[in-house]
Amino acid sequence: MQGTERRRDGDKNPRTTQVRPRSARQQNTPRAAGARLAMLLMLGWLALLAWGAWAQRLPLWLLAAVAGLNLVTFFAYALDKSAAQRGAWRTPEQTLHLLALLGGWPAAWWAQQWLRHKSRKQAFRSAYWGTVLLHSAGLGVVVWRPDLLLYL
C-alpha cells in the first residue's frame, strides 16, 4: 500500500507531491523505534520471568500476581482516560507509576499505545521508563538471588 501527500496548488486543486510506501514511512519514525525497543524489553522480561519460574527461582504465585497486576494496570489507565474525557476525578500519576514499578509496566505501555493515554507528556514518559528500568533491575536481582524474596 502506498501513501501520498496531497497539497493544493494556487488554484486550490489537490495534487500529489510525494508517493512512497507507507510501511517505509512508518518504520523510520522514532515512535516505531520506541515500539520495537519496548517489544524487545517485554520479550526479555517475559523470558526472565519464565526462566525464573522454570529454575524455581521465582514462586509461581509471583507470576500470577504479575499477570493480575498487569490487568489492573491496563484498567487503571482506561479508567483514567475515561475520567479525563468526562472531567471526573483522575487517577494520580504516582499511582500509575507505582503500578508500573511493581510489574505492570508492559500493560502500562500497551495502554499508552492503544488508548493514546499519557503517551505525549514527556515528564510522565520519562518517569515511566525510569520505573521500567528500576523494576527490571529489581527483577534481575531477585532472580539472581531468590533468597531476597524472603525479605519482601
- Measured CA to CA, the distance from residue 91 to residue 84 in angstroms comes to 9
Closest CA to 45 of 61, 65, 63, 69: 63
Assess if residue 48 is contained within a domain: no
DSSP H helices, the chain, are: 22-27, 30-54, 60-86, 93-99, 105-114, 122-144
**Half-sphere exposure in the Cβ direction for 118 (13 Å, CA):** 30
Residue 21: what pLDDT?
60
Residue 137: what pLDDT?
92
Assess if residue 6 is contained within a domain: no
Local mean pLDDT, 10-residue blocks, the chain (152 residues) = 57 62 56 80 91 90 95 96 92 94 94 84 89 92 80 62
Contact 99, 76 (CB under 8 A): yes
Assess if residue 97 is contained within a domain: yes
For residue 70, what are the domain limits?
59-148
Residue 9: what pLDDT?
57
Residue 16: what pLDDT?
62
Q: List all residues 6 or more positions away from 17 whose beta carbon is below 8 Å from its beta carbon.
A: 4, 5, 6, 7
Residue 142: what pLDDT?
86
Assess if residue 92 is contained within a domain: yes
* H/E element, 18: strand 14-21
Assess if residue 46 is contained within a domain: no
Give the count of domains, the chain: 1
Task: Give the type of residue at 143.
Answer: V
Assess if residue 99 is contained within a domain: yes
Assess if residue 26 is contained within a domain: no
Residues 6, 9, 15, 21, Cα dihedral to 10°: -40
Assess if residue 96 is contained within a domain: yes
C-alpha cell at 59: 514462586
pTM for the model: 0.71
